[in-house]
Amino acid sequence: MTSKAILFDMDGVLCDSEPLIAEAACRMFAERHGVHPTPADFHPFIGTGEDRYLGGVAEKYGVRLNKPGDKARVYEIYLEIIPGRLRPLPGVREFIAAARADGWRLAVATSADRIKMEGNLREIGLPEATFDACVAGEDIVHKKPAPDIFLLAAQRAGAPPERCVVIEDAVSGVRAAKAAGARCLGLTSSHTAEALRAAGADWTAEGLDRVTPALFEADPGK
């Protein structure tokens, strides 16, 4: 049988790093540019990759970013503050174990930069070796909602896109999954079930503690 794979977005699916990366970014803007954004300023740019995440807020406050120095400083602060604070979301470990037992190949596909991906996976106790493939923002040119990241993750995981299920929490990620030809489970950690369904999600759930991989053997929507 052709291999099947589950492709996990990271933030909002495996862990919730958004409050911590927003905290780090706020500190960087205050420290290096003398402006004081709020965590809410970053919300529209969640899931778009750190360049746009920082750039969108910089535009709002009339700041000209000093790349790559500003981004490097955000990551420096971020890696200092996540120990003991960043944890896997409920059900993540159990879901991954069940998926392995059911014969699924596993991959991470995140718009975040590799330094953040590696830090997050290490901190939540699911290092890169847990997965068959890990794809980060630097690995592709066109970010979500373009399908590139999921197409590459499927290729590296050794499964055709039509035999893949993407697990996402962002509307742009759901659209990317569907554009890649994969099925998609939308988690309501960042957006409503209605918004995720409108973007094309085949199933929705509150979190991985509410579903098992057996869901993917059923017809979507049932």
- Rounded mean pLDDT of 167-187? 97
Instruction: State whether 94 and 193 are in the same domain.
Output: yes
Instruction: State whether 75 and 99 are in the same domain.
Output: no
Residues 110, 189: Cα–Cα separation, whole Å? 16
Strands (E) across the chain are located at 5-8, 105-109, 133-135, 164-168, 183-187, 203-205
- Structural domains in the chain (count): 2
9 tagged catalytic: yes
DSSP class per residue in 121-151 = HHHTT--GGGSSEEE-GGG-SSPTTSSHHHH
197 found inside a domain: yes
Cα 209 to chain centroid distance, Å, stands at 17
pLDDT in tens, 142-155: 989 999 999 999 99
- Rounded mean pLDDT of 47-71? 91
Instruction: State whether 103 and 162 are in the same domain.
Output: yes
The pLDDT, as a whole number, for residue 51 is: 85
Domain boundary pick from 64, 81, 98:
81
Instruction: State whether 27 and 110 are in the same domain.
Output: no
Q: Among 98, 97, 107, which Cα is nearest to 182's?
A: 107
- Rounded mean pLDDT of 167-173? 94
Helix, strand or coil for residue 61?
coil
* Range in 1-10, 52-61, 103-112 the model is least confident about: 1-10
- Rounded mean pLDDT of 130-151? 96
Residue 160 has pLDDT above 80, yes or no: yes
| Rounded percentage of the chain residues whose pLDDT exceeds 90 | 88
What is the token pair recorded at 50? 């750190």
- Whether residue 154 contacts residue 2, with contact meaning beta carbons closer than 8 Å, is answered with no
Instruction: State whether 211 and 102 are in the same domain.
Output: yes
- Rounded mean pLDDT of 24-32? 98
Instruction: State whether 76 and 147 are in the same domain.
Output: no
Helix, strand or coil for residue 207?
coil
From 9, 113, 148, 169, the catalytic residue: 9
The pLDDT, as a whole number, for residue 222 is: 43
Cα 197 to chain centroid distance, Å, stands at 18
Instruction: State whether 93 and 77 are in the same domain.
Output: no
146 found inside a domain: yes
148 tagged catalytic: no
Instruction: State whether 74 and 116 are in the same domain.
Output: no
94 found inside a domain: yes
Instruction: State whether 92 and 67 are in the same domain.
Output: no
Which domain does 61 fall in, by range? Answer: 18-81
222 found inside a domain: no
Instruction: State whether 64 and 92 are in the same domain.
Output: no
- Rounded mean pLDDT of 162-188? 97
